[in-house]
Structure 1
Amino acid sequence: MILNTNKIIGIIGGMGPEAGIELHRRVIHFSEASRDQEHFSIVHVGFPSKVVDRTQYLEHKTIINPAQAILEMVHIAVNSGATVLGIACNTAHAPQIFEPVKMGLSTHEKPVNLVNMVEEACVSCIQEVPLNSKIGILSSNGVFKSELYSAMLQHRGFEIVLPSPKFQEEVIHNMIYNSVFGIKSNSTILRTEVLELLHKAMRFYLNNDVQTIILGCTEFSLLKEVLSIAYPNILVIDTIDVLAKALIREASKPVTA
C-alpha cells in the first residue's frame, strides 16, 4: 500500500528523550507499510536541555514555563513541513503549558493539527472501558496534582482511584524521578527498585478493585511489557500507543486545499 497523503508528522520529544524515541518507533510500528516509501515522513525535534521540567513548573518550583521551549520545537517542526503534531509528554498537556503552545501555533499561515494526547486517551477509555469502572493512573506529580486525567474521566462517568499524596510521591513519582534508579536516570535499563515500586503501586490499585490503568506518563510506557506479563487481567491504556495511532489517523486524512 502506498500512503495517499503528503502530511508530515511532527514529534515534539526530549521529555524524556527515550519517550520521544518510543513514540517515533510506535508510529513506524503501527503504520501499514511494506516498504520504506510507504512510511510517513516524520520530523522529530528534541531539545531536552532547553525544556524546564514540567512537573517542577506545575509545582511552582520554577517560574519558567516550559511552553516557551516546547513552542520553539513546534515552530521548527512546522517550518520543516509538519502539519500533524504530537507532544511526547503527558505533563506537558496540563492547561498551563498546553494552552500557550496552542495559542503560539496561530502565528503559522497554514493549519496545524496539534493532537491532544490526554483527550485521545480519554476517548480510548470511553471506547474500551465499561462505564462506572474504576480506573487507576500511573503518572508524574504534575499530572497527579493538576488532575489532568481524573477530572476529565470523572466527568465522563468513570470512578478514578487515586493514592494519597505521600504514596504518589514516594512510590509512583519516585519510579520516574529518583536520581539513582528512576526511569529518567536509567531509561535503557529497568532497575530492580523500579519493579519493586511498580508492584507496590499495582497492589494498591488491585486492592481497590481497579481493572484499568492509564500510563499517564510517557516514561511508564517503557514498562508496558512488564505490566502486560505480570498483570494480564488489567487493561492498560498506554498513552504513547494512543498518541501514535492518533497521529497516524490524522496524518492519513485527505489533504484539503
Structure 2
Amino acid sequence: MKRIGIIGGMGPMASVDLMKKIILATDAATDQEHIPMLLDNNTQVPDRTKAIMGQGPSPVPEMLASAKRLEAGGADFIIMACNTAHYFLPEILPKLNIPVVSIITTTVDSVKKRGFKKIGLLCTSGTARTGLYQKALEENGMECIFPVGEEQKLVDAMIYDGVKANNLNYDIKPVENLLAKMQSQGAEAFILGCTEVPLAVEMYHLKGVFIDATDELALAAVKLAKAD
C-alpha cells in the first residue's frame, strides 16, 4: 500500500476527522491491513482566509515545510485537511516530488456522479472568494448557490466561533435559517466545503442533504493508496 501524507493543523480537529474517515473507509480486519499515514499537524500555518483577504501572511512557507517533511518521511502522495488551503497549491506543486490529491476535484466529481444540478456551498469566505468550487461546478454543468455578504459571515462565525472554539452552545439558528433559504433557491444538496463544517453538522445536529468534502477526499485517498 502507498503511504498517505496529510498536511494538517488547519484546524487540528479537522485533521483528526480526516484520519478517522480514512480509517473508516478502509476495508480492514487487522491493524496491518490499514493504510499507513503520516500527519504533519502544523498548527503554525497562518490563517488561509486572512491571507486570501490580504489581512495576514501567506501560508505557503509553512504548508511547503509540512509537505517536505511528509516527503522526507516516506509519503507517496499528499492530501490536505483544509479546503481553503487548496487555493495556494499552484505555488507549492512545482516544488514537490509527489502528487497532491485535491479535495475540490474529488468532491465535484462525486457531486456530478450523483446527478445534482443545483448545489449549495458551505465554506469559509476565503474559499468562496477563490471561486474554486464555483468554477469546478460550473465547468461540470452544475449551478452553485452560495451565501454572500452578511449571510456568508454566518457560516464563517459557525466555523471560527463555533467549531474552532469548541463552543457546544453556539447559536446555530441563523445558519439553519440560511440553509432553508438556500433550499428555497433550489439547492438540492450542500457541499460541506470546509473541513470544519462536517464537524459543525455533527456538533449542532444540522439537517439536510450533505456532501462531505472530507469524506470524498478520504475515499479518494484510500482508493489511490490501494491502487497497484
- TM norm structure 2: 0.94
Structure 1 residue aligned with 2:95: 104
Distance of 1:44 and 1:143 partners within structure 2: 23
Change (3 A) 1:230 1:215: closer
Letter aligned with residue 138 of structure 2: Q
Q: Could you tell me which of 164, 179, 183 is aligned with 1:202?
A: 179
Tell me the distance in 2 between the aligned counterparts of 1:76 and 1:226. 32
Matched, 1:116 2:116: no
Instruction: State the shift of 1:225 in Å.
Output: 4.0
The CA RMSD over aligned residues, in Å, is 1.6
Query: 3-state SS of the aligned residue for 1:221?
Result: helix
Contact 2:163 2:200 in 1 (8 A): no
User: In 2, Cα distance between the equivalents of 1:240 and 1:164?
Assistant: 23
Structure 2 letter corresponding to 1:219: E
Gaps of 5+ in 2: none
Supply the distance in 2 between the matched residues of 1:206 and 1:226 (Cα, whole angstroms). 21
Contact 1:175–1:197, Cα closer than 8 Å, also in 2: no
Please give the secondary structure, in 2, of the residue aligned with 1:65. Answer: coil
1:197, 1:79 → 2: CA distance? 45
Residue in 2 aligned with 1:20?
15
Partner of 2:83: 90
Residue of structure 1 aligned with 2:159, choices 173, 176, 179: 176
Whose Rg is larger? 1
Q: Could you list the runs of 4 or more consecutive aligned residues of structure 1 that deviate by over 4 angstroms after TM superposition?
A: none
1:34 aligns with 2:17: no
TM-score normalised according to structure 1 size? 0.84
2:120 is matched with which residue?
136
Alpha-carbon separation, structure 2, partners of 1:198 and 1:72: 36
| Secondary structure of the structure 2 residue equivalent to 1:115 | coil
SS at match of 1:32: coil
- Identity in percent: 30
CA contact (8 A) 1:224 1:238 kept: no
- What is the number of equivalent residue pairs in this alignment? 228
Distance in 2, matches of 1:226 and 1:87, equals: 22
CA distance in 1, matches of 2:206, 2:217: 24
